[in-house]
Copies of this chain bind each other. A is one copy, B any other.
């Protein structure tokens, strides 16, 4: 047992850190660190920089652009990326549809889609959730009927993140209505330009436009857009949901936020002293840091354990990462709100363009404090709510 990084691991950390902080424009990274929305162009630009380096899809098979990194290296890559404010490669492409196609797709599908997904030539979005289904994903009702060489899709998806930017969508459809819940579901790819697809924005409480409803009205796509076997789409979904559980804790993101909070708390003054000298505030900050340090160690323990595990069969302990990681991320938003104080109150509309037209009303960072607090409540809801995570741990680890 040696709880220190090896010199090789240290060197790797330095390498990725250097790259992230020099190759990716600071303007993009600053926006990420301040919790501002990025434009489509910024996300694409950043991912292409990584892809050029060969680092957009390290988790993919090597033949499709992946790396042979150890789990510790993957961890260091994510940690440094998050700390530097480098936008993560678009998850729908790199952690979801990409690995699914690489695992279950035909050779033709691989050739057609993988390189484009890695380079964000195609922007993918995820057609899983439906109104009324929520955590009970398998109760989905969007159906695809086989008609000749095509699928005809009807139904509705919701919470579809950034569908407004998307070129393609991967959709879970019910293809056998008489089979039991998880059986009779298929995983189908649709070009967003296909007639019959309509995207309606959902405005979130922070005033942002991140998610959408996607309607399918007699949408016809080629039969060959099916990934894997007909009626076995649940296997793809499970595989997809099981991937990349360690990044979920976003330890690096929380690290960067806590550092930023500490910096700002040195600048903000309460009476005649900096906020950081307020005993209560300092102890609250320290308490979150301690939880985060513990989570980082927990993550490393899980990472170390990954070597022996099968791909797509995550360590159920990774539910801890989701549970604690979400709570810690949310705690950082509460601290930031406190730092901003009264200046968290003005609402400044942000647009999709390059920054804001109007100047803000207080310090720059303050405008994002409340929207981020509001928006990040989603973290304990999406991707399997924290209640679902507790059910998983209760069953898979505690044996209830």
Nearest-CB distance from A282 to chain B (Å)? 11
Binding site for B on A (CB under 8 A): 279-280, 283
Q: Given the complex of chains A and B, what is the CA–CA distance between A280 and B283 in angstroms?
A: 9
- Determine the residue in chain B with the shortest Cβ distance to A283: B280
Residues of B within 8 Å of A279, CB to CB, are: 279-280
Q: Given the complex of chains A and B, what is the CA–CA distance between A280 and B278 in angstroms?
A: 11
Nearest-CB distance from A206 to chain B (Å)? 30
Q: Given the complex of chains A and B, what is the CA–CA distance between A218 and B279 in angstroms?
A: 66
Nearest-CB distance from A349 to chain B (Å)? 38
Q: Given the complex of chains A and B, what is the CA–CA distance between A280 and B279 in angstroms?
A: 8
- Determine the residue in chain B with the shortest Cβ distance to A279: B279
Residues of B within 8 Å of A280, CB to CB, are: 279-280, 283
Contact sample, A vs B, 4 pairs, CB 8 Å cutoff: A279-B279, A279-B280, A280-B280, A280-B283
Q: Given the complex of chains A and B, what is the CA–CA distance between A283 and B279 in angstroms?
A: 11
Q: Given the complex of chains A and B, what is the CA–CA distance between A381 and B339 in angstroms?
A: 41
Residues of B within 8 Å of A283, CB to CB, are: 280
Q: Given the complex of chains A and B, what is the CA–CA distance between A91 and B400 in angstroms?
A: 40
Nearest-CB distance from A71 to chain B (Å)? 40
Q: Given the complex of chains A and B, what is the CA–CA distance between A283 and B280 in angstroms?
A: 9
Q: Given the complex of chains A and B, what is the CA–CA distance between A311 and B283 in angstroms?
A: 49
Q: Given the complex of chains A and B, what is the CA–CA distance between A283 and B283 in angstroms?
A: 12
Nearest-CB distance from A166 to chain B (Å)? 41
Q: Given the complex of chains A and B, what is the CA–CA distance between A279 and B278 in angstroms?
A: 10
Report the 4 A-B pairs with minimum CB-CB distance, sorted nearest first.
A279-B279, A280-B283, A279-B280, A280-B280
Nearest-CB distance from A112 to chain B (Å)? 52
